[in-house]
Amino acid sequence: MPYDTQPAASHFINGAYVEDTAGTPIDVIYPATGEKIATVYAATPAIVEQAIAAAKSAQAAWAAMSGTERGRILRKAADLLRERNHDLSVLETYDTGKPYQETSVADATSGADALEYFGGMAATLTGEHIQLGENWVYTRREALGVCVGIGAWNYPTQIACWKGAPALACGNAMIFKPSETTPLCALKVAEILHEAGLPAGIYNVVQGMGEVGASLVTDPRVDKVSLTGSVPTGRKVYAAAAEGIKHVTMELGGKSPMIVFEDADIENAVSGAILGNFYSSGQVCSNGTRVFVHKAIKEQFLNRLAERLGDAVIGDPMDPKTSFGPMVSERQRAIALEYIEKGQAEGARLVTGGKMLERDGFYMEPTVFADVTDDMVIAREEIFGPVMAVLDFEDEEDVMARANDTEFGLAAGVFTRDLTRAHRVAARFEAGTCYINTYNDAPVEAPFGGSKNSGVGRENSKAAIEHYSQLKSVFVRMDDVEAPF
């Protein structure tokens, strides 16, 4: 192993690594080999208490600093993430199994973008002045207090930063619980933030399974919860947060549509479908896994897609030439393979792939089904694996209705050369993040998030500020107070 993956300790609390081996051990498995590469221990109630107490006592002083001072620390952390991109990318690859070819451009770099963007914005956060005759109101944009971030396993560095950066820019403290499947990367984010000058207690990381997350969400000292995870977990966390009337951001799952019209640039549409189904071995929330292709170009599209998939380099994720790595875990691969069996049983046509690879690690083939119909399980449920469902259509009205006929609303994409149609379709998509002639771009400047069951709130962009701060109005009377008696 060219990299020591064992973290200094399981948790990062109050500016330092903290260990408590009384917690349940969590083995960290390298998905490319199935080997154990590290062990962390789930937070005990005493560790959770330490983290909440540290965040609570540090937050007010952090919020009292000027935005310029807070932002400077975040921007320094962004620089450190970029300087250490290689090591952080290697760690991300060990944590998730995603190829280094991806992690070196999409994870620590995306986290750095968030820290730089929100670091730059911290000094610009202001209230407003509202004149009412002689009297006036001013508003103060204030921090929420203690925020809890709970992560999924597909983008551990990115999620730790996408939640941490706006929270900290607004003057909050954060306690982040990574997914138990990928616990390593967030510890490095915490370490770097503190090296950049973050005061102790402002960004803490605790490990554990769902119950650790639940104990954070229900603590009365916690003011906001931001979850990235599945819809079933989102339901539980949203309900628990509602009990305490807490602020929430819910970044949940999807089964997003991608519509390829007969006038589309086929090469670009195939590229979009590859990016939106097979990047990160298909383990991306916003993936366009229901690909509606116009009947007139369907066979051309499928032939070109199969040819391009033949160019995928499946192998050692650390080899920079590898473009398709293993699934994150044996369990996640088993889930995807079960869906493939269901697809075949329901009569979908297997165009390519469909099997696990007989080698160490959790590899399977990128898989494409054609002749999928709307009622098939593979067209309705989120698989979270490299399984694309291609469906036919002929009519725009009909395909719009079918594209929107889902409980999810995370993302949606359209490929067409017809400008008017592109914008008409984007306007009619019931989804929070839409694409025209591209797929899965997620720059920090743009809001990212879902509608319907795919989520509440937005990450990134100015919109995230609304979800990590609150406005206080202060009414100022200049004349006398009139009272009835």
Ligand X SMILES: NC(=O)c1ccc[n+]([C@@H]2O[C@H](COP(=O)([O-])OP(=O)(O)OC[C@H]3O[C@@H](n4cnc5c(N)ncnc54)[C@H](O)[C@@H]3O)[C@@H](O)[C@H]2O)c1
Give the whole-angstrom CA distance, residue 293 versus residue 281. 22
> Binding-site residue total for ligand X (CB under 6 A)?
29
- Told to check if 230 binds ligand X by CB under 6 A, we report yes
Shorter beta-carbon distance to ligand 2ZO: residue 50 or 287: 287
Binders of ligand X among residues 319 to 338 (CB under 6 A) are none
Q: From the list ligand X, ligand 2ZO, none, which binds 429 (C-beta under 5 to 8 Å, kind-based)?
A: none
Question: Among residues 51, 54, 175, 284, which is the contact residue for ligand 2ZO, using CB under 6 A?
Answer: 284
| DSSP per residue, 257-314 | EEEE-TTS-HHHHHHHHHHHHHGGGG--TT---EEEEEGGGHHHHHHHHHHHHTT--B
Shorter beta-carbon distance to ligand X: residue 137 or 209: 209
Burial classification of residue 243, based on how many CB atoms lie within 10 Å of its CB (0-12 exposed, 13-18 middle, 19 or more buried)? exposed
Q: In 310-458, where does DSSP find H-type helix?
A: 330-345, 377-380, 396-404, 419-428
Non-local CB neighbours of 446 within 8 Å, separated by 6+ positions: 460, 461
Binders of ligand 2ZO among residues 419 to 448 (CB under 6 A) are 440, 442
Comparing CA positions, the residue from 72, 63, 53 lying closest to residue 469 is: 63
Helix (H, G, I), strand (E, B) or coil at 83: helix
Query: Cα-flanking dihedrals φ and ψ of residue 86, to 5°?
Result: -60, -55
Sketch the per residue contact string, 68 through 107, with ligand X: x for CB under 6 A, - otherwise: ----------------------------------------
DSSP 218: T
Shorter beta-carbon distance to ligand X: residue 84 or 380: 380
Helix (H, G, I), strand (E, B) or coil at 399: helix
Binders of ligand X among residues 353 to 382 (CB under 6 A) are 382
Catalytic status, residue 251: yes
Comparing CA positions, the residue from 49, 279, 100, 93 lying closest to residue 184 is: 93
Residue type, 152: A
Q: Which of 116, 180, 251, 382 is catalytic?
A: 251
Give the whole-angstrom CA distance, residue 456 versus residue 259. 25
Q: From the list ligand X, ligand 2ZO, none, which binds 12 (C-beta under 5 to 8 Å, kind-based)?
A: none
Q: From the list ligand 2ZO, ligand X, none, which binds 72 (C-beta under 5 to 8 Å, kind-based)?
A: none
- Told to check if 48 binds ligand X by CB under 6 A, we report no
- Told to check if 273 binds ligand 2ZO by CB under 6 A, we report no
Question: Among residues 59, 89, 93, 154, which is the contact residue for ligand X, using CB under 6 A?
Answer: 154
Give the whole-angstrom CA distance, residue 98 versus residue 43. 27
> Binding-site residue total for ligand 2ZO (CB under 6 A)?
7
- Stretch of 124-132, 280-288, 352-360, 379-387 lying at the interface with ligand 2ZO (CB under 6 A): 280-288
Helix (H, G, I), strand (E, B) or coil at 4: coil
- Stretch of 51-59, 143-151, 233-241, 281-289 lying at the interface with ligand 2ZO (CB under 6 A): 281-289
Question: Among residues 51, 410, 422, 444, which is the contact residue for ligand X, using CB under 6 A?
Answer: 410
Question: Interface with ligand 2ZO by CB under 6 A: which residues?
Answer: 154-155, 284-286, 440, 442
Question: Interface with ligand X by CB under 6 A: which residues?
Answer: 150-154, 177, 179-180, 209-210, 213-214, 217, 228-230, 233, 236-237, 251-254, 285, 382, 384, 410, 450, 455
Give the residue numbers marked as catalytic: 251
